[in-house]
Structure 1
Amino acid sequence: MTGIGKTTIAQSIFNQISPYFEYNYFLNNIGTVWERNGGQVSLQEKFLFDIRKGTKRVLLVLENVDKLEQLNALCGSRKWFAPGSKIIITTRDRHLLKEHGVDHIYRVKELDKSESLDLLNCSAFSQTTRPPEDFVDLSRQRVAYSRGWPLALKALGRFLHGKKVLEWKGILSSIEKFSIPDPRLLNALEKSFSDLSDNEKQIFLDIAYFFIGMNQNDVLQTLNKSTQYAALQICLLEDKI
């Protein structure tokens, strides 16, 4: 899921453990760079080629991978790296990790209510996690709007920053009534949607428009009438959102 905190967590881990490795490299936004350069990450590939020849331990983060060929090019074999090396991969598509045979897959969970409240207040009140008393109830009431999604919490907090209580009430009421999204959220969601295959897009739209709240077996039974391998397509879709 876009904006759930994959890169933030990877960066935090990288910062904590990098002193224990001889080589450290954080390769940002693999998917975009790969697409822009016609299937190459030339400078990075040269760097990785150099460190593969050595015997020193490497900490490597590959951020925002979206194709199996990227993993094959950058970390195609364990033999390329010295024993004790660590590779961290972030991606919206868990199926890529399964195909590549990674050792462990961690799915980033949504924030709980307490974490959501802290992040909202941190964004809205200049790094303090305790809002002014007049805003406490408003913050608690509206945290549910984000459903634990960090990107939404940050966007909402930044939008509300510096505004008075009455302005908060008006803005939050409008968001709830008219479902007004932040443009940054729309851009993130559009990118995630555009990365889906045509079949995945169709199933996603069918579920979003017609099947919200329905039993999964009933949804599968209905989709199987119009879509081949609906169960498989849904599994692949779940790996990407």
Structure 2
Amino acid sequence: MLPMDLGDMVGMEADMDQIEHLLDLSFTTNEVRMVGIWGMAGIGKTAIAKNLYQKHKHHFKIHHCFMEKVSSLKAKSPLDLQKWLLSDILRKKDLKALNFGQGAPCIKSRLVNLKSLIVIDDVDDVKQLDALAKEASWFGPGTRIIITTRDKSLLNSSCAVYKVEYLKDDKALQIFQRFAFQGAEPPIAYNDLFISISQLAQGLPSALEDFGTYLRGKSLVEWRDALKSFREAPLEKTTVDLKSSYDGLDELGKAAFLHVACLFNGEPVRRVRKLLGQGKAGMGVLKEKSLIKVSSDRRITMHRLLEQMGKHIVRQESNNNPSQQRILWHHDDILRVLDTNTVSYTQCSNFFLVSFWLARLCHHSLAEAKIIRYN
């Protein structure tokens, strides 16, 4: 049985209400309902799905299943996943006789008359999803299926999509307080730091938890030092969680991600598409995979922690040697590289100076100049 931590409910009440409506968990209809919970890593998709599962599984007798972290099961075949689903729903462990190619027909024949609750958590491969819930017709009347994913493109047309957004400031502070002070009011001396560090997480629940847990029991001086550190880079645990999204991109997606993180966060989509080769395709990939959003005024917005992670990746690639970085954005590094003639205008086959940043370099401030290196 999955544990249910009521603390996980902070900030999720509205999300749960809307997903319950999409799933029709009042059962005004007997049709099969499928909802995809979509959003970036650490946004709380799994926590929402767990709470929905625990709250409503009693409506489905014994026919319910929570398939957690499906993306981590790369070594498992689609048949293994199908056996897992069937054994949990049917409460039967002996499904060894099921052979390749028999999984989907067996799901349909065995579950088509059962009202089931199924959660397929953290899917990142369409083959896994197709093996488990390709068609609503496989399942019995009243069945409800919840899918959590970072990649909207995996969800088919029969699946309603619900996007999980960042927490509002007041809810973010509650989450941070819960982990940093175990729910107690922060001492007055910590108030400004408390708010500043919470805002650095920019409403991302997993980062709020990581920051709060790290700072629990630490002194005021340690909090101040941590704030400086967090402004440069997130905690390693947070970075690992977020980097899994980057690692899942193809080369086009990775290049687009790094250029947005280092140069174009906040820039108009149209301009970025023109500046980057295959920019339209790259922006589309990042949006589908919850790595960027497009604001109402058509500007690209990337979460601050993703931006920090992207810059960290570029530095690591070059062993922190600015002259070897594929992208330069910090004015000190730009000055150093130009002053030492590591790059010159005659090296235009290796370097592309983005036009609008070059204009700033010439007419405004070197601090605002940014350079992309193509190898």
Q: Same fold (TM over 0.5)?
A: yes
Percent identical among aligned pairs is: 29
Pair member with larger Rg: 2
* Conserved? CA contact 2:115–2:140, under 8 Å: yes
* Conserved? CA contact 1:118–1:129, under 8 Å: no
Q: Distance in 2 between matches of 1:102 and 1:233?
A: 26
Give the C-alpha shift of residue 52 in structure 1. 5.4
Q: Does 1:170 align with 2:210?
A: no
Deviations 1:148-197 (A, max 9, x none): 11111111001100112232122213332xx1321111111221111111
Among 176, 187, 190, the alignment partner of 1:135 is: 190
Q: Distance in 1 between matches of 2:259 and 2:228?
A: 29
Aligned to 1:59: 117
Alignment of 1:162-241 (within 5 A): 162-176=217-231, 179-223=232-276, 226-227=277-278, 230-241=279-290
Aligned to 1:24: 64
The structure that is helix-richer by fraction is 1
Give the C-alpha shift of residue 51 in structure 1. 8.3
Aligned to 2:168: 112
Q: Distance in 2 between matches of 1:171 and 1:125?
A: 16
Q: Distance in 2 between matches of 1:154 and 1:50?
A: 38
Change (3 A) 1:140 1:19: same
Alignment of 1:30-179 (within 5 A): 30-33=70-73, 35-39=74-78, 40-41=80-81, 43-47=83-87, 49=106, 53-54=110-111, 55-97=113-155, 100-126=156-182, 128=183, 130-176=185-231, 179=232
Bigger Cα displacement from structure 2, 149-158 vs 213-222: 213-222
The structure that is strand-richer by fraction is 2
Change (3 A) 1:216 1:122: same
Aligned to 2:54: 15
Give the C-alpha shift of residue 134 in structure 1. 3.0
Change (3 A) 1:170 1:42: same
Q: RMSD across aligned C-alpha pairs, in angstroms?
A: 1.9
TM-score in terms of structure 2 length: 0.58
* Conserved? CA contact 2:42–2:242, under 8 Å: no
* Conserved? CA contact 2:150–2:289, under 8 Å: yes
Q: What residue ranges of structure 1 are gaps of 5+ in the alignment?
A: none
TM-score in terms of structure 1 length: 0.88
Change (3 A) 1:72 1:129: farther
Task: Report SS of the residue matched to 2:117.
Answer: strand
Q: Across the two proteins, how many residue pairs are aligned to each other?
A: 231
Give the C-alpha shift of residue 140 in structure 1. 1.7
Higher relative contact order (CA 8 A, sep 6+): 1
**Off by >4 Å, runs of 4+ in structure 1:** 48-52
* Conserved? CA contact 2:82–2:107, under 8 Å: no
